[in-house]
Chains A and B, each alone.
Chain A
């Protein structure tokens, strides 16, 4: 049960060889192979359209495929009849939060239906239902119709329904996308528990690279191909290199100089982050210093690279090997906007009710010109509603706001001419070319005829769309479409930009290109940017963050300050590598450490007194005969911050 898969002699539970899936002419998966050992959590990571869902459906036996072989429990899944034979031992949860559940049925009725579908007898059902609902903290809501559950609860109910027949292999398609961090953490906890208690094997897909550490093994997928495979550490090992963090003034100048040499340079808030594949941590700082001659460089330090860095490096390698030239570096227009530092967006106690339901509850914040402000939260937290109120699309129930100096309640039209808005739903015209879309939006926003060509040329350069100007939008990949959507929102030269989840489903390189543009807009053109996201890693790039949960802002500060505050309040995050990890986890739980959580084969916990706790952990594990490999103090992630804040808020509400 949960033994290290690498030394486990058991044959793999799932074996996929040269898998090919096409939808008519469209290639979805092109030659993927993988093996899943019993008792492990296997991850498929990649952006939308990578082919994750097709592969998972084929393994679950609910999708026919065109080439290769899929073997599950030793059975070749090559026909409908063959697939039927293994379905008893399988559980499959399709993509989309709770979409496979029945909205009109209550929580309990949903569970009962799945149980009856799966021939679970009444006694077993009662027993398992009790346990699973308690585990997911849904037992208080048994009679509540599923449609009235929050996103996180729907996801957990979906999990319960998938598990009710105790499958040996569970296949979960993006179970954590758009879910609030606490529910996400609960989800991983439940999965880990199942792994421990019943040796369940899980195949889980995700679009979040920062979840990679949760898996024992994983495949990084992009555009139908597997880019890298193995344990998270092993993938990192495939791309040796140095990751440097530094501050430099002026930031944009430094960014542009570094980008010319190191394509994996990005601005993260006030800092710059440079990944240098192949470089050694000893010589890397010198190389960077040399490039930044004449600029003021401070806080230069070497940090551990993350999987996203490795993923992007692999992508670059793959593209170079394929003879593809990298996209040309942006040639930023050097016009200097007025140095305007005023408040661009101000929200004061904004509220919005939908019937009985309060979607946004007393939200206040300020965004200055030149600032990138992030609204971070799960689906349904109220982010989009806030944006709609500030852009004058939706009247608020209470409170007030001003954007670019205009009161949003009175000056709907005036506001719209001063702002750019990229909505969540894709709003471009697919059957028009890039140029035609830009021209249309310029006209809509009232750009004068004699200035049209100039305005379009400006945003084409800004968004790096010159090569695609005459192409139809429907033919463009997701990342470029999003840049076009951005260009359309910028064509009338707004001073304030609203972006509602602009990078959902975009691959990491595309996301970085997008952020390069945002950084330029904010730093050089002093545009105020308000962006919503549910990617924690993306939130790190913002200058200022507001964490939203259930309609409220529960924290509001810069990412660094949020993390510092967490360390002061709750302690340091320690990462413990020990063998066997499950025994270590049990020992730590019994010794009363606060919320130790399993991340793949490592354990994270919060230590109030790091020095003393480290010593305690060493003694404890030695006493239990668990081999301790290493304890590493980690900087907390924004997810840690978010989870802590939500739980704290819930505790306060309970006390009140």
Chain B
């Protein structure tokens, strides 16, 4: 190992990246942009659902019932329409996602102790959102029923409303959400996106950087010189690891500052674990670059080997625990899953090395494996 040669390689690479505008953008702008785009786009909270109302009763009780929807932060009241027929175009245009139809004699029926049917029409285009909408509607409806029951009890039994309420709902569920008290998906997404972006961008940069030299022939400068394989790999990749470390800090700041995700863990632990993670993903790019000859092929292969595991097998969209056994097994084969746990643990749970050492070890193992494989596969006297 000759430090002067390593330094020369690293310095050359660094200057090339800085001066090549496209590469510079790829290195520093794309990761942050990915974080922003996905952060706002992937928000899984369903709020502000636009809805319209057909009130064929126009009684005090129907208005009271409807107000419970209008006052909720989950719904945005768009207005009344005269008949059910008028709802169709609104739903078709996506101007509303939901409609509530109160039948005639709603109040009369209720006061007579008969059941009244309220029709709810929900746009089923996006099943996830539909399911959430249904949940909200059911919950608001249940609350109204409970209050009606409590009113009836208080009147018939002559007890106070409070007592009546307890009687109507003998068991109350006390919910407390841990780690993400407000259930804001952007908090979890912020942390998970660090996993995603740091899984995708370092391999891209690295693979392109190495294959570029193969494609235009400057790799022969390395082949034909006395630079050793190790010197080349270290010198060539140091700038890429450096860029990714900078990106760790940038993405961290975005998750914390912009998405408002709390950071409860140990900063140093998280930082070091992240460095191991990007070393590992840089190794993915290096390995890819050894199998392809053109930059186009490098990009395609990188997409396949990084995006698929980081989206599907990392816990970003689907929790690992709810996968089938085959899926769980595959998830354990990719480094993304381990870092997702580290990131969520550090951001939301405030846990550190004591709880996460196994995951860190897994990442370190990956890094060593990928770099060693690349070292062994890289030849200065190839067959073609």
Contact = CB atoms under 8 A, between A and B. Distances in A.
Contacts of B325: none
Nearest to A113: B12
Contact of A94 (B5, B217, B227): B217
A525 to B, nearest CB: 42
A91 B226 CA distance: 11
Contacts of B217: 94-96, 99-100
Given A99-B217, A102-B16, A87 B5 contact: no
A91 B383 CA distance: 20
B221 A100 contact: yes
Given A64-B381, A105-B12, A117 B227 contact: yes
Given A83-B380, A99-B217, A92 B12 contact: no
B19 A91 contact: no
A88 interface: yes
Given A104-B15, A104-B20, A113-B12, A94 B220 contact: yes
B224 interface: yes
Contact of B216 (A100, A113, A161): A100
A97 to B, nearest CB: 10
Contact of B12 (A57, A83, A88, A102): A102
Interface string A99-135: 1111011000100111011110000000000000000
Contacts of A116: 4-5, 7-8
Given A92-B224, A104-B15, A116-B5, A64 B216 contact: no
A104 B16 contact: yes
A340 interface: no
B225 A87 contact: yes
Contacts of A94: 217, 220
Interface string B212-238: 000011101111111100000000000
Q: Name the residue in A24, A87, A91 with the highest tally of chain B Cβ atoms < 10 Å from its Cβ.
A: A87
Contacts of B224: 60-62, 87, 90-92
B15 A109 contact: yes
Contacts of B268: none
B2 interface: yes
A24 B384 CA distance: 9
B380 A62 contact: yes
A252 B222 CA distance: 54
A626 interface: no
Contact of B16 (A63, A99, A105): A105
A63 B225 contact: no
Contacts of A61: 223-224, 380-381
Interface string B350-384: 00000000000000000000000000000111111
Nearest to B231: A117
Interface residues of A, number: 36
Interface string A188-219: 00000000000000000000000000000000
A23 B384 contact: yes
A101 to B, nearest CB: 7
A64 B380 contact: no
Nearest to A23: B384
Contacts of A90: 224
B300 to A, nearest CB: 21
A105 B15 contact: yes
A87 B7 CA distance: 20
Given A60-B224, A102-B218, A117-B8, A84 B380 contact: yes
A161 B217 CA distance: 14
Interface string A115-158: 01111000000000000000000000000010000000000000
A57 B384 CA distance: 10
Interface in B164-190: none
Contacts of B381: 61-64, 79-80, 83
A116 B6 CA distance: 9
Given A80-B379, A104-B16, A109-B15, A62 B220 contact: yes
Nearest to A85: B226
Nearest to A80: B381
Contacts of B96: none
Contacts of A161: 221
Interface string A542-578: 0000000000000000000000000000000000000
A80 B5 CA distance: 20
Contacts of A117: 5, 8-9, 221-222, 225, 227
B4 A114 contact: no
Contacts of B5: 116-117, 119
A104 B220 contact: no
A64 B216 CA distance: 20
Given A60-B224, A62-B224, A100 B380 contact: no
A80 B383 CA distance: 11
Nearest to B380: A80
Contacts of B222: 117
Contact of A119 (B15, B216, B218, B226): B226
Nearest to B220: A94
Contact of B19 (A24, A95, A100, A104): A104
B226 A100 contact: no
Nearest to A95: B217
A112 B383 CA distance: 30
Interface string A327-364: 00000000000000000000000000000000000000
A57 B382 CA distance: 10
Nearest to B20: A104
Given A80-B379, A117-B9, A88 B218 contact: no
B21 to A, nearest CB: 10
A61 B221 CA distance: 12
Given A64-B382, A94-B220, A101-B218, A118 B225 contact: yes
Contact of A92 (B19, B220, B226): B220
Nearest to B218: A100
B12 A118 contact: no
Interface in B113-129: none
A113 B8 contact: yes
Contacts of B8: 112-113, 116-117
Given A94-B220, A100-B217, A63 B382 contact: yes
A61 B379 CA distance: 11
A87 B226 contact: yes
Interface in A7-63: 23-24, 57, 60-63
A119 B12 contact: no
Contacts of B12: 102, 105, 109, 113
B247 to A, nearest CB: 21
A202 to B, nearest CB: 15
A113 B380 CA distance: 19
A96 B216 CA distance: 8
A114 B216 contact: no
Interface in B187-227: 216-218, 220-227
Contacts of A62: 220, 223-224, 380-382
Nearest to A161: B221
B15 to A, nearest CB: 6
A100 B221 CA distance: 7
A328 B23 CA distance: 54
Contacts of A84: 226, 380
Contacts of B382: 62-64
Contacts of A102: 12, 16, 218
A23 B384 CA distance: 6
Contacts of A118: 225-226
B220 A64 contact: no
27 contacts: A60-B220, A60-B224, A61-B380, A62-B220, A63-B382, A64-B381, A80-B379, A80-B381, A84-B380, A87-B224, A88-B226, A92-B220, A92-B224, A94-B217, A94-B220, A96-B216, A100-B217, A104-B15, A104-B16, A105-B15, A105-B16, A113-B12, A114-B221, A116-B5, A118-B226, A119-B226, A145-B19
Given A104-B15, A105-B19, 6 more contacts: A61-B381, A62-B224, A63-B381, A90-B224, A92-B220, A112-B8
- State the 6 A-B residue pairs at the shortest beta-carbon distance, nearest first: A116-B8, A62-B223, A92-B224, A104-B19, A94-B220, A94-B217
